[in-house]
Amino acid sequence: MVIDNYDGYAAITYGGACTINVSAVFLNGDYGDNIKRSFTSLIYHEMTHIWQWYPPMTPTGLIEGIADYTALKAKYYKPEFFARPGSGKRWDQGYSITARFLEYCDGLKPGFLAAMNRKMRNAWILNYFVELVGKPVDQLWREYKAKYAGVGNFTEDTNLGLWREHKDMHCYDAKEETGCQLRTLKK
């Protein structure tokens, strides 16, 4: 782990040594007494990137959703910055939107996400949803949205949204190197 003065994002995971680069700017933010919790959530998210599989063509939203799902299941997330169940416009929208959808899928088939990650070791195929849950992802998304109809939409904190937008635009081109996920800055 490296802590340095990165501006514009909280952390990124990249490098041949699977290094998590944490922003000192993020750590100096105004968290009151929640810096430990915020940092722990960040580490859960970024450590997931080190251990998860994401072969070519895996939707970035799914990659980020799996990482947020880990923080959700560990109960290290800030509810005010996390989507409520049923939020979002697409299953692969990413981060907490996708994490909530994955939570729904795991409720239908316990162990779903672990099984999907195993399948993703060699390839990404949208049909994994059918293989694991018995339904196409679009049907699962419609049923998920119907289950939580009326819950209301999620609005991200502006700073968190800007960090995620920056991270998605500039920080990730994923490829595998010696079993570890290598992330390089986009050129």
Alpha-carbon distance 67 to 39, whole Å? Answer: 14
Can you read off the two tokens belonging to residue 127? 């049909």
Which percentage of the chain shows pLDDT scores above 70? 72
Q: State yes or no: pLDDT of 147 exceeds 60.
A: yes
Q: Are 10 and 67 in contact (CB under 8 A)?
A: no
Q: State yes or no: pLDDT of 125 exceeds 80.
A: yes
Q: State yes or no: pLDDT of 85 exceeds 80.
A: yes
CA-nearest of 32, 20, 25 to 9 is: 25
Single-letter amino acid code for the residue at 3: I
**What distance, in Å, lies between the first and last C-alpha atoms of the chain?**
23
Q: Are 7 and 164 in contact (CB under 8 A)?
A: no
Q: What's the rounded mean pLDDT across residues 131-135?
A: 98
Q: Facing residues of 173 across strands?
A: 184
Q: Following DSSP, what letter does each residue of 58-105 receive, concatenated?
A: --HHHHHHHHHHHHHHTT-S-GGGSPPTT--S-TTS-HHHHHHHHHHH
19-71 residue pLDDT tens: 788 888 777 765 555 777 888 888 888 888 888 888 889 999 999 999 999 99
Given pLDDT bands bounded at 50, 70 and 90, which one contains residue 137? Answer: very high
Given pLDDT bands bounded at 50, 70 and 90, which one contains residue 126? Answer: very high
Question: Which domain range does residue 82 map to?
Answer: 2-184
Helices and strands in the chain: count of H runs, count of E runs: 8, 5
Q: State yes or no: pLDDT of 176 exceeds 70.
A: no
The residue with greater pLDDT, 105 or 166, is: 105
Domains of the chain: total: 1
Task: Say how many C-beta atoms besides its own lie within 10 A of residue 152's C-beta.
Answer: 9
Predicted confidence at residue 90, as pLDDT, reads 96
Predicted confidence at residue 9, as pLDDT, reads 61
Q: State yes or no: pLDDT of 129 exceeds 80.
A: yes
pTM above 0.85, yes or no: no
